[in-house]
Amino acid sequence: MIDISGITRIAAVIGDPVRHSRSPQIHNAAFRHLGLDWVYLALPVSAGRGAAAVAAMRTLGIDGLSVTMPHKADVAAAVDRRTPAVEALGACNCVYRDGDVLVGDNTDGLGFIRSLEAEAGFSLDGATIAVVGAGGAARSIIDAAARNGAARVLVINRTPAGAERAAAIHPSVSVAEVTDLAAADIIVNATSVGMAGGPAPDQLPFPAEFIQPHHLVADIVYQPERTPLLVEAEARGAATIGGLGMLVHQAAVAFEHWTGQPAPIEVMLDAVRRS
Ligand code: ATR
């Protein structure tokens, strides 16, 4: 265990529910590994209390906050400064300090991009990326891809209105259909389809016949690590990447904001696999 003292610094995740969060294991393993005098806790905070939690950061001297459902929009509105990702998305998953200023960031999209580079050696520079889904996770990826070199971002969603809202994020984003997947270099499942315990654990987010060998198929679902989509994509000769990398890399970006140190990715991956 970390030897907690009078000068131990505090980071925490707020959410409801939050007890299932793997973030404490990920961050505490990283703090221990680097010998940092920090501790990371999970704090259940009920709906409507996100801004109060930001005020509590100031009052209690908490140095880092991760933010999950249902507080991402409230916290985005309550911080002193917002990164471009938060300005675009209206959703904040990480708060850090710049002196006395509380800065809100959204690390999901950059985490996803870093996981592509680290795990698949894939650069979005000039690429066409197709994102299936238009919820919060999808929007984070769409925004980060559009601002980090992707030539085109295609959004495919079950409900067209959601895709149209997502397409408004950036000029390089457009609404697309499954038949447009042929033009993509990378396809991302950013829906909950395929998630164990979710509403559609055995389904695919789009028909498998649209997967081709030139595709990199990425899934943000990390439980199971090999989703039905990834199994099918592999069988069709496509390269694949699972969702654990995004989970760990979005945490790593937050960790770096808080501590100013490079995150120990392998230690964090190992912690999440064991949790
Ligand atoms: P999150 O914030 O975690 O990304 P969300 O906002 O609930 O989650 O978004 C879920 C996404 O998964 C949406 O794009 C949703 O499609 P709709 O906009 O049509 O609801 C998509 N989704 C969920 N279940 C799906 C299913 N069975 N088939 C296709 N898409 C699904």
pLDDT over 80 at 192, yes or no:
yes
Is 205 near ligand 1, meaning CB less than 6 Å away?
A: yes
| Among 27, 71, 72, 114, the one annotated catalytic | 72
pLDDT tier at 170 (50, 70, 90 boundaries)?
very high
Rounded to the nearest angstrom, the distance between the alpha carbon of 78 and the centre of ligand 1 is 27
Rounded to the nearest angstrom, the distance between the alpha carbon of 135 and the centre of ligand 1 is 6
* Mean pLDDT, range 57-77, rounded to an integer: 98
Q: Which atom of ligand 1 is nearest to the CA of 136?
A: 2
Tokens 């991402």, located at residue: 72
Closest-CA residue, ligand 1 atom 12, reads 191
* Mean pLDDT, range 77-88, rounded to an integer: 98
Residue 2 confidence (pLDDT): 62
pLDDT over 70 at 129, yes or no:
yes
Q: How do residues 196-233 score in pLDDT, each as one tens digit?
A: 999 999 999 999 999 999 999 999 999 999 999 999 99
- Average pLDDT of the chain is 97
pLDDT over 90 at 58, yes or no:
yes
Which residues lie closer than 8 Å to 209 by C-beta, 6 or more apart?
Answer: none
Whether residue 190 lies in the annotated active site: no
Is 134 near ligand 1, meaning CB less than 6 Å away?
A: yes
Is 160 near ligand 1, meaning CB less than 6 Å away?
A: no
Is 191 near ligand 1, meaning CB less than 6 Å away?
A: yes
Q: Which atom of ligand 1 is nearest to the CA of 132?
A: 14
Which residues lie closer than 8 Å to 216 by C-beta, 6 or more apart?
Answer: 116, 120, 122, 185, 186, 187, 238, 239, 240, 241
CA–CA separation, 37 and 260 (whole Å): 13
Residue 268 confidence (pLDDT): 98
Residue 3 confidence (pLDDT): 85
Is 81 near ligand 1, meaning CB less than 6 Å away?
A: no
Beta bridge mates, 156? 132
The percent of residues above 70 in pLDDT, for the chain, comes to 99
Q: How do residues 11-36 score in pLDDT, each as one tens digit?
A: 999 999 999 999 999 999 999 999 99
